[in-house]
Amino acid sequence: MQQAISAMEERTRAHSPNENWPFTVTQATPAIGAYVSDIDLREPLDEPAYLALRRALIRYKVLFFRDQDITPAQHVAFARRFGKLEVHPVLTHDPDHPELVVFDKSDKKRGRENIFHSDVSWREVPSMGSILRCVECPPTGGDTIWVNMAGAYENLPEDVKARLEGLRAVHDLMPLFGAALSPEQRVAVRAQNPAVTHPVVRTHPESGEKLLFVNEAFTTHFANYAEIAGYRIGFDLKLGEMDLLQYLFRQAAAPEYQVRLKWEADTIAFWDNRATQHYAVQDYYPAVRRMMRATVIGDRPV
């Protein structure tokens, strides 16, 4: 595994020259993440800046911006530059901007996002990216971790990669979000958001990278495991499926694929949901942590 990780680091360095960016980019870790400075997100992005940010996002997978005191309207305008925005069917919205999800945690409401996931992977057309701003941060704690899922796939053993060929997985919002809904709400939300299937390994539509696309929050099972693995004895089939899925979930926990951000007020993180997973660390209760997120609609995984 160390040889594979070293190879990944070499490629990261080779593909990270001092490009003529219209802003300053500082790489965060060899595997994932970069800090972007000398840019004011209150101002509309011109075409060169937009294209450069999109290239940086594809290259580094998550971008961090400090000291961006933007309004909710400016947040929406910046996010909309990258595509259409979704309205989440369950989470709380900003009253004036339904495209903005509000995460408002305190001693009265504990955070529940502490599981590796890719935002809205349960949609038939999942997210391209998410843009999260810290409005109010706890004095310490409340970090977020992002994971490079291209690296996670690349370093899988070849025999495991062979087992994943043609395999599809089911993604569902209800196991995570259903518990907070009334029975009537569950019926209504389920009617509008059925479970969907996506390839276990998807191809990034812009970089061409192969990406491991299952996550512990929303992936419930494989849709066609028996067809791919073959059937012997019932418990072999089910245990084999569970073991493989749990093995794939655990790849996100490897520090070699991760970057960790310590939030400050007016920090913004912009990440590629196709190529990453993330985990919000819930170690700050009962302190206040208030965040706002816009989510850009993406493309159907293939």
**Known catalytic residue at 204:** no
* Cα separation values, 14 from 62, 149, 175, 259, Å: 18, 19, 41, 19
Catalytic residue among 123, 204, 278, 289: 278
Contact indicator for 180, 92 with CB cutoff of 8 Å = no
The residue type at 211:
L
Q: Give how far the C-alpha of residue 92 lies from the chain's centroid of Cα atoms, to the nearest Å.
A: 19
Question: Considering 75, 97, 119, 172, which one is annotated as catalytic?
Answer: 119
Active site residue 272: no
Phi and psi at 181, nearest 5°, equal: -110, 155
What are 170's strand-pairing partners? 197, 221
**Residue 160 to residue 63: CA distance in whole angstroms:** 31
Question: Is residue 126 helix, strand or coil?
Answer: coil
**Annotated catalytic residue within 75, 97, 117, 133:** 117
Residue 117 is a catalytic residue: yes
Instruction: Pick the catalytic residue from 75, 97, 289, 293.
Output: 293
DSSP-assigned letters across all residues of 239-267: HHHHHHHHHHHHGGG-GGGEEEE---TT-
Query: Which positions are catalytic?
Result: 117, 119, 278, 293
